[in-house]
Amino acid sequence: MRQNLILLGPPGAGKGTQAKMLVDKYAIPQISTGDILREAVKSGTPLGIEANSHMSRGALVPDEVVIGIVKERLKRGDCGKGYILDGFPRTIAQADALFSYLNECGCPITEVIDIKVPKDHLVIRLSGRRVCRSCGAGYHIEFNPSKDGGRCDRCGGELFQRDDDREDVVIKRFETYEAQTTPLSEYYKKKGQLTTISGIGDVEAIFDDICKIVDER
Ligand code: ADP
Ligand code: ADP
Ligand code: ZN
């Protein structure tokens, strides 16, 4: 069955970690707007320069920019059997735009999974998060360390800390999440598409919970 999934949840909830596992299991792509935007920032394109002015202070990139990126991405052939949206939508305007777009093509969202994690856990997760510069694999200095502290287990790439995982920006990102993204839980609940899960505990156990929800829908 075709799976058009959305992973909702605050910064550090484990969306990226779970999305990468879902990619392997269901053979559908992960669409992370954060990853796409960071790629643009790295390349120094006009989009990247604009995006960075928002990302570096923990604010959202404007809706029309992100909506345009996602529409283009969804047109690509690899989305034909479904996809996992990770970090999109993040505002009601983005959710409305996604709804209209998918309505036109007759392939709606099949499931929205809202990953709940208390803030004290999130702070520890974000401050210890490390990402591989080459392949994007995610690590945590304490909960999921690489074998050789500074290098990626998969590809040997250098691990780094995201600029926006520094404490002052993290505080802003939480505020942004509370103000602009939390209303989406209610939005998808009303549509009957939302399932809330706990994102604390073993990564594999959380993954099992998500797969059960996806398979039962
Ligand atoms: P996290 O996974 O920690 O929640 P992301 O990688 O998803 O962080 O996002 C990093 C930053 O990229 C956000 O703080 C925001 O500036 C920007 N961004 C990502 N997705 C969106 C989106 N859907 N709308 C607006 N801005 C976004
Ligand atoms: P998000 O994409 O929602 O911002 P990530 O998947 O990048 O979140 O996870 C944030 C950090 O928390 C990473 O360092 C990751 O290794 C770690 N992490 C993810 N899931 C768990 C978990 N269940 N328990 C402990 N740490 C986790
Ligand atoms: Zn790597």
Structural domains of the chain ordered from first start: 3-28+80-216 (3.40.50.300)
* Mean pLDDT value of segment 92-115: 96
Supply φ then ψ for residue 166, to 5 degrees.
-80, 150
- Annotated active-site residue 151? The verdict is no
The answer to whether 107 touches 2, Cβ cutoff 8 Å, is yes
- Tell me what the mean pLDDT of segment 26-39 comes to: 97
Res. 1 pLDDT band, cuts 50 70 90? confident
Of the candidates 162, 164, 190, the residue with the CA atom closest to the CA atom of residue 177: 164
Question: Under 8 Å CB-to-CB from 53, ≥6 apart: which residues?
Answer: none
What pLDDT, on a 0 to 100 scale, did the predictor assign at position 3?
Answer: 95
What the block records as the tokens of 137 is: 């694999």
Query: Which residues make Cβ contacts (< 8 Å) with residue 47, sequence separation at least 6?
Result: 37, 40, 65
Summarised one tens digit per residue, pLDDT across range 146-201 is: 998 889 999 999 999 999 999 999 999 999 999 999 999 999 999 999 999 999 99
Contact 196, 116 (CB under 8 A): yes
Q: In terms of Cα–Cα distance, which of 22, 21, 20 is closest to 214?
A: 22
d(CA 153, CA 145): 9
pLDDT of residue 217: 82
Predicted local confidence at residue 206, as pLDDT: 98
The most distant pair of C-alpha atoms in the chain lies apart, rounded to whole Å, by: 49
**Is residue 212 annotated as part of the catalytic site, yes or no?**
no
**Confidence at 20, pLDDT banded by 50, 70, 90:** very high
Using the mean position of ligand 2's atoms as its centre, give its distance from the Cα of residue 17 in Å.
6
Q: Which pLDDT value is given to residue 148?
A: 87
Looking up tokens 């990102």 gives: 173
Pocket test for ligand 1, best of 35, 90, 122, 125 (most atoms within 8 A of CB): 90
Strands 3-8 and 82-86 turn out to be parallel
- Using most ligand atoms within 8 A of CB, pick from 143, 164, 202, 208 the residue to mutate for ligand 2: 143
Ligand number nearest to the C-alpha of 90: 1
Q: Which position among 73, 125, 130, 173 bears the catalytic label?
A: 173
* 106-122 residue pLDDT tens: 899 999 999 999 999 99
Structure confidence at residue 51 (pLDDT): 98
- Mean of all residue pLDDT scores within the chain: 96
Distant-in-sequence contacts of 93-98, Cβ < 8 A, 24+ apart: 93/63, 93/67, 94/63, 94/66, 94/67, 94/70, 95/184, 95/187, 95/188, 97/63, 97/67, 98/67, 98/70
Q: Are 36 and 74 in contact (CB under 8 A)?
A: no
pLDDT for position 110: 96
